[in-house]
């Protein structure tokens, strides 16, 4: 039985169910247009069922031995490794990413599972001193309760597990709302792994639905205490505002407009390799992708020649073929919008260095330069295979241009002088930046998140513990307090 036949359902309180809405989400292979599944949307009533089931199960789960929780997560890791080949095939079909991208995603997800396994037995309480004689202060770290995870289409397996696995390890229950373009890889596959690993019913639920059906029910329901959202800043602003009105904590991983900066002493061949990867991995549909490639003017001509030559050699086509480097965009809306964006940029005076064609959802790489500094194109996130080359005049100008964006998620700087690179990196208004590497990076122990319009909060390592736990102060007075009245 196909993954898309078996797992294209709602998963509520340990049962695989049909949605009770009046319309279907159609899951489509973005490369060839094949219908993978039709999933009837979940309703507000099913949202309530999922949250109520999670709340009931979580109370028992929080009292379960951390070693039991760890054992279940170990089972999930084992099953993920055993099913890796099958999951990779599903990723290619549902997401349109290349095989290389799919393997990278599932293997990195396994690293995050290994870290979550350790989190199950890591949280500790503290005993703090008190200025009051005879008083003992204990601070306990407790699970928040129920976490809502709203995940994106681009890395749905990895990004969803980054919240789900540690949240469960720390004693919480979870309700997932996967992206409509990745309902199986970002939802059903994950639920099946945890079900087969022995996770008790109700602790993990999957709702495949849409705001058109349920409105803000996922956000306003009284049960969830934390909303972990990854997606656009437009939707993220709404999620954050609604959650705040209902006193819910949020972790928001939002849009980016990363700059990869090439200083005048960089290793140009290496910088070109890093820039091409940073811009075009998964067709540029990555929040950390290098939208803007800033190059010191003294080396701009040489860099541009090498960069454009490498881009022209990228193969666009069937993501199942081993040598394909650029697959399809996720849907026709995105492909058409990106093509129109490039057309407008050229009409506004941008210089075309490489111009790819659009064939259905396949959009070949485009490289533009000569873009006016006040052009909105430089300030927005471009979710597709379009690179913008921008020259600058010295470090100060490079810092200024790198920071000239409302976003601040990731970045990179290339130089032969590592300490120079670190000094430069410290001046960039971004949550993450890499010296002599790609703009794209994620590791289990390093805090992941953005500044400005790129989000709020952090995940990974100790930041994950902060995100999915709360603290309780319990004081004990040994002896008697002398009250003033």
Residue 449 counted as domain residue: no
Residue 69 counted as domain residue: yes
Q: For the chain, give the mean pLDDT.
A: 97
Spatial contact of 12 and 47, defined as CB atoms under 8 Å apart: no
In this prediction, residue 242 carries a pLDDT of 98
Residue 482 counted as domain residue: no
Say if residue 102 is in the same domain as residue 115: yes
Domain around 320: 258-435
What stretches in the chain show pLDDT beneath 50?
1
Say if residue 306 is in the same domain as residue 328: yes
Residue 483 counted as domain residue: no
Q: What's the CATH code of the domain at 173?
A: 3.40.605.10
Question: Alpha carbon of 170 to those of 73, 174, 247: distances in Å?
Answer: 11, 11, 21
What is the three-state SS of 240-282? HHHHHHCCCEEEEECCCCEEEEECCCCCHHHHHHHHHHHHHHH
In this prediction, residue 1 carries a pLDDT of 45
In this prediction, residue 83 carries a pLDDT of 98
Say if residue 323 is in the same domain as residue 286: yes
Q: What's the CATH code of the domain at 382?
A: 3.40.309.10
Say if residue 406 is in the same domain as residue 380: yes
pTM (2 decimals)?
0.96
Residue 480 counted as domain residue: no
Say if residue 296 is in the same domain as residue 319: yes
The one catalytic residue in 287, 364, 381, 395 is 287
What is the three-state SS of the chain? CCHHHHCCCEEECCEEECCCCCCEEEEECCCCCCEEEEEECCCHHHHHHHHHHHHHHHHHHCCCCHHHHHHHHHHHHHHHHHCHHHHHHHHHHHHCCCHHHHHHHHHHHHHHHHHHHHHCCCCCCEEECCCCCCEEEEEEEEECCEEEEECCCCCHHHHHHHHHHHHHHCCCEEEEECCCCCCHHHHHHHHHHHHHCCCCCCCEEECCCCHHHHCCHHHHCCCCCEEEEECCHHHHHHHHHHHHHCCCEEEEECCCCEEEEECCCCCHHHHHHHHHHHHHHHHHCCCCCEEEEEEEHHHHHHHHHHHHHHHHCCCECCCCCCCCCECCCCCHHHHHHHHHHHHHHHHCCCEEEECCCEECCEECCEEEECCCCCCHHHHCCCCCCEEEEEEECHHHHHHHHHCCCCEECCEEEECCCHHHHHHHHHCCCCCCCEECCCCCCCCCCCCECCEECCEECCECCHHHHHHHEEEEEEEEECCCCCCCC
In whole angstroms, what is the distance from residue 479 CA to residue 485 CA? 18
The one catalytic residue in 105, 253, 364, 395 is 253
Count: domains in the chain: 2
Residue 443 counted as domain residue: no
**pLDDT tens-digit profile of 161-210?**
999 999 999 999 999 999 999 999 999 999 999 999 999 999 999 999 99
Q: Does residue 364 have an active-site annotation?
A: no
Say if residue 249 is in the same domain as residue 268: no
Backbone angles phi, psi at 447, to 5 degrees: -60, 130
Say if residue 238 is in the same domain as residue 321: no
Say if residue 369 is in the same domain as residue 279: yes
In whole angstroms, what is the distance from residue 386 CA to residue 141 CA? 46
Say if residue 168 is in the same domain as residue 191: yes
The number of beta carbons lying within 10 Å of the beta carbon of residue 110 is: 16
Q: Does residue 253 have an active-site annotation?
A: yes
- Provide the edge-to-edge strand list for the sheet that holds 15-17: 15-17, 10-12, 204-206, 173-177, 146-150, 226-230, 249-253, 455-456
Say if residue 169 is in the same domain as residue 115: yes
Residue 479 counted as domain residue: no
In this prediction, residue 261 carries a pLDDT of 98
In whole angstroms, what is the distance from residue 152 CA to residue 20 CA? 23
Residue 481 counted as domain residue: no
Q: Which of 367, 378, 391, 230 is nearest to 302 (CA)?
A: 391
Say if residue 191 is in the same domain as residue 153: yes
Say if residue 209 is in the same domain as residue 280: no
Backbone angles phi, psi at 107, to 5 degrees: -75, -35
């Amino acid at each position: 039985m196909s993954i898309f036949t078996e797992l294209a359902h709602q998963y509520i309180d340990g049962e695989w169910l049909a949605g009770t809405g009046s319309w279907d989400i159609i899951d489509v292979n973005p490369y060839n247009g094949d219908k993978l599944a039709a999933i009837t949307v979940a309703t507000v009533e099913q949202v309530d069922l999922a949250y109520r089931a999670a709340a009931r199960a979580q109370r028992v789960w929080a009292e379960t031995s951390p070693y039991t929780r760890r054992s279940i997560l170990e089972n999930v890791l084992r099953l993920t490794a055993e099913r890796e080949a099958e999951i990779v095939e599903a990723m290619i079909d549902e997401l349109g990413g290349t095989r290389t991208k799919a393997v990278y995603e599932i293997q990195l997800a396994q690293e995050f599972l290994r870290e979550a396994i350790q989190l199950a037995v890591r949280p500790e309480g503290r005993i703090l001193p008190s200025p009051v004689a005879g008083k003992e202060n204990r601070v306990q770290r407790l699970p928040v309760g129920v976490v809502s995870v709203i995940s994106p289409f681009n890395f749905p397996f990895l990004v969803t597990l980054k919240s789900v696995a540690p949240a469960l390890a720390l004693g919480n229950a979870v309700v997932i709302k996967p992206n409509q373009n990745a309902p199986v890889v970002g939802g059903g596959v994950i639920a099946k792994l945890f079900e087969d690993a022995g996770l008790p019913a109700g602790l993990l639920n999957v709702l495949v639905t849409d705001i058109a059906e349920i409105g803000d029910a996922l956000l306003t329901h009284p049960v969830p205490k934390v909303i972990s959202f990854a997606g656009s800043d437009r939707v993220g602003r709404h999620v954050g505002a609604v959650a705040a009105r209902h006193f819910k904590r949020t972790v928001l991983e939002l849009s980016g407009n990363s700059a990869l900066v090439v200083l005048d002493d960089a290793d140009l061949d290496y910088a070109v390799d890093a820039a091409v990867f940073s811009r075009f991995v998964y067709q540029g549909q990555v929040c950390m992708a290098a939208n803007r490639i800033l190059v010191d003017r003294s080396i701009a001509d040489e860099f541009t020649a090498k960069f454009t030559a490498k881009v022209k050699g990228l193969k666009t086509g069937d993501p199942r073929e081993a040598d394909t480097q650029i697959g399809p965009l996720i849907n026709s809306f995105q492909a058409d919008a990106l093509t129109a964006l490039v057309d407008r940029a050229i009409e506004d005076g941008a210089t075309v260095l490489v111009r790819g064609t659009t064939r259905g959802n396949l959009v070949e790489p485009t490289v533009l330069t000569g873009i006016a500094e006040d052009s909105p194109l430089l300030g927005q996130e471009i979710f597709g295979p379009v690179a913008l080359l921008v020259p600058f005049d010295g470090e100060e100008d490079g810092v200024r241009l790198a920071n000239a964006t409302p976003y601040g998620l990731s970045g990179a700087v290339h130089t032969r002088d590592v300490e120079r690179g670190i000094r430069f990196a410290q001046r960039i208004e971004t949550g993450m930046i890499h010296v002599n590497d790609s703009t794209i990076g994620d590791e289990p122990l390093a805090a992941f998140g953005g500044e400005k319009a790129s989000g709020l909060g952090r995940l990974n390592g100790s930041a994950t513990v902060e995100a999915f736990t709360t603290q309780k102060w319990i004081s004990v007075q040994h002896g008697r307090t002398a009250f003033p009245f």
